[in-house]
Chain A
Amino acid sequence: MSEAGLKSSRFRKEREKSWRQLERIVKKIESGSTRSISDEEMIALPGLYRSALSSLSVARATSLDQSVVQYLESLSTRAYFILYGTRTSLAKRIGGFFVRDWPNAAQALWKETTASFLIISVFTVISYILVMANMDWFYSLSPGAMSDFRNPTASTETLRDSLFDGSSDDGLSAFSAFLMSHNSKVAIMAFALGFAFCLPTAFFMAFTGCMIGSFVALFADRGLGVEAAGWLSIHGTTEIFAIVLAGAAGFHIGLSLAFPKNKPRLESASAAGRQGAVLMAGVVVMLIVAGLLEGFARQLVKSTSLRFTIGGGMLFLWCLYLYLPRGRFNLRPKS
């Protein structure tokens, strides 16, 4: 008794054409050839999607053909992600990031930013005082890091040279590229480590503060404090600000995991992660600017006052850009 058509086969035959049509459109969109899609197809897409969903419901209730059900499930899911996962163009998103998202994230995380700034400052001051009191502290507070030859045994002459004259011979661009990738790595780590309930991030901030404080103290001990500060500030204001922000993003994640308030912990962590990530994308931009300043501007600008002007100017611009209130209109409603 070869059946002349089960009900479910007749159903399939009647709907199959619209499934195939949806599949063709979905395939085109997925392969990125959006241009080859006609207006009619674009208009038909939502209707076809809904009819596929309805077919899926019917098939689940009436058909025992696995192939049909699996096909419709996957087709509906693909169409769902196209219709509900649509995003604006890349250019628009980049624009939105600079105009709105980045400053908003920075403003929303002002508490964490303050905390991370305070940790760095306090440890800078402490390590400065310690090193000024006893040079031996330098070795414990700034192990290895940036102090290749800049350590208490170096002569004042060498130290002075390193501030004004150095590096032009050892490859500006290689140095700059290295710093950029190194600093971004450090910042990403400060962010990611927030995962472990803030502690490693706090340690990271403290460590950065120690390095700055002991570095300046080393030079201040030889009467070169102002010059060293100038040498640092030309790129340092941007770079340290970026690290402060990365720390803030890390704290934000750690706090949301430790104290999720009235949301489930996972949800709270991912909300914080998204907000922190926006800030981190900005941090990477800042670090690229800092790398350029460090690799090029610092070697080309030799006057301490000019270095301070550039460094201070950059800091002023960053603060203006990130924290200037822009009224209510650009605060996106929470989704």
Chain B
Amino acid sequence: MSQAPRSTAYKEPALTRSLVTPEGVDLRIQLADMGARFGAFFIDMAIIAIVITTVAIIYGLTFGAAGQIDSEIGSVLLTMLWFFLRSFYFTAFEISRHSATPGKRMLKIRVTSRDGGRLTAPAVFSRNAMRELEFFLPLQFLLFGGLTEASGWLYIAGTIWFCVFLFFPLFNRDNLRAGDIIGGTWVLRAPRPILAKDLSEKVLPDNVEFDFTAQQLKAYGIHELHVLEDVIRNNDLATIVAVADRIRTKIGWEKGANEKSRDFLSAYYSGLRKMLETQMVFGKRRKDKFDV
């Protein structure tokens, strides 16, 4: 079985892309959304700022206390530190095994090569060299450029420049920033879901009988089954009661005396899943309740 089924009823967000392995299976990778990427960048810049400030404070405390503060060594230290961090922080972390900076790891995203091959050092280098153009240059310009020149037009030009690159990822299908285009990379979600318990395995109490007729099980499709799965897993009592009531009304089910809503949902979930999976084996995927 090394064939990827093309028709699926899984959640299909706009950010899903296909990545077919050499074994012929589509992994259906997901691009990181812009919020995660801005967030990761923000965290990384904060880390850089903290490192520089800490070094400056430690330096000031150790040498300042001894009364031998040497502005030359201090400025060499900070110049070099800032230069190395801004040029190599991103590159070094993205070349490493995780293919992600600490900020990216925190938000569970990673850089990969767009062609699905390996992520090479030159690709990472060029994607981050562009950062100089996209972010640091306009930043420097906006912070210091205006002060010396005091020219309004230049300032506006700088702001436009900044905005073009800032919003660049919003105007292409794959959320690529200029660096991604040059580096041939994109940023993917790298979630690590745990394998949750199988809900159909839940043991139900003996004192209640759940016998659904085929007609009752026909009320819903795969989409509703997945929603039901989420509801049961989230385990929020109010929602469970509400959903159970909706289903009972829809399929015309009389609530028994000792019947708990949670058990009812579990039983209905198992029954529905069994029926839909059996249909799937015979080649019929019932997408949702409107799909007859």
A interface with B by C-beta (< 8 Å): 1-3, 5-9, 12, 16, 19-20, 29-30, 32, 50, 53-54, 56-58, 60-71, 73-74, 76-78, 80-81, 84-87, 93, 97, 101, 171, 173-174, 177-178, 180-181, 184-185, 188-189, 191-193, 195, 253, 266-267, 269-278, 280-281, 284, 335
Find out whether the CB atom of B125 lies under 8 angstroms from the CB atom of A9: no
Of B114, B129, B270, the contact of A191 (CB 8 Å cutoff): B129
B interface with A by C-beta (< 8 Å): 1-5, 8, 10-11, 19, 21-23, 25, 27-29, 72-73, 75-76, 79-80, 82-83, 87, 97-99, 112-114, 116-123, 125-127, 129-130, 132-133, 137, 178, 181-185, 190-196, 198-204, 210-212, 222, 225-226, 229-230, 233, 267, 270-271, 273-274, 276-277, 280-281
Bound-state Cα–Cα, A281 to B270, Å = 59
Bound-state Cα–Cα, A174 to B72, Å = 6
Find out whether the CB atom of A275 lies under 8 angstroms from the CB atom of B195: no
Chain B residues whose CB sits within 8 angstroms of the CB of A30 once the complex forms = 97-98
Of A6, A74, A273, the contact of B193 (CB 8 Å cutoff): A74
Of B29, B76, B191, B212, the contact of A173 (CB 8 Å cutoff): B76
- With A273-B182, A277-B122, A277-B126 as known contacts, state yes or no: A64 contacts B133, CB within 8 Å: no
Find out whether the CB atom of B277 lies under 8 angstroms from the CB atom of A63: yes
Find out whether the CB atom of A32 lies under 8 angstroms from the CB atom of B97: yes
CB distance from B201 to the nearest CB of A (A): 6
- With A6-B200, A277-B122, A281-B122 as known contacts, state yes or no: A77 contacts B132, CB within 8 Å: no
Chain A residues whose CB sits within 8 angstroms of the CB of B116 once the complex forms = 84
Supply 20 A–B pairs (Cβ within 8 Å), ascending by A. A8-B200, A54-B25, A57-B5, A67-B198, A71-B195, A80-B27, A84-B117, A171-B72, A173-B73, A180-B80, A185-B83, A188-B87, A195-B178, A269-B181, A269-B182, A271-B184, A273-B126, A273-B181, A275-B122, A276-B182
CB distance from B33 to the nearest CB of A (A): 17
CB distance from B52 to the nearest CB of A (A): 14
Bound-state Cα–Cα, A253 to B130, Å = 12
A-B contact count (CB 8 A): 222
Find out whether the CB atom of B3 lies under 8 angstroms from the CB atom of A65: no
CB distance from B195 to the nearest CB of A (A): 4
Chain A residues whose CB sits within 8 angstroms of the CB of B178 once the complex forms = 195
Find out whether the CB atom of B21 lies under 8 angstroms from the CB atom of A66: no
Find out whether the CB atom of B182 lies under 8 angstroms from the CB atom of A71: no
CB distance from A235 to the nearest CB of B (A): 18
CB distance from A92 to the nearest CB of B (A): 12
Bound-state Cα–Cα, A8 to B199, Å = 12
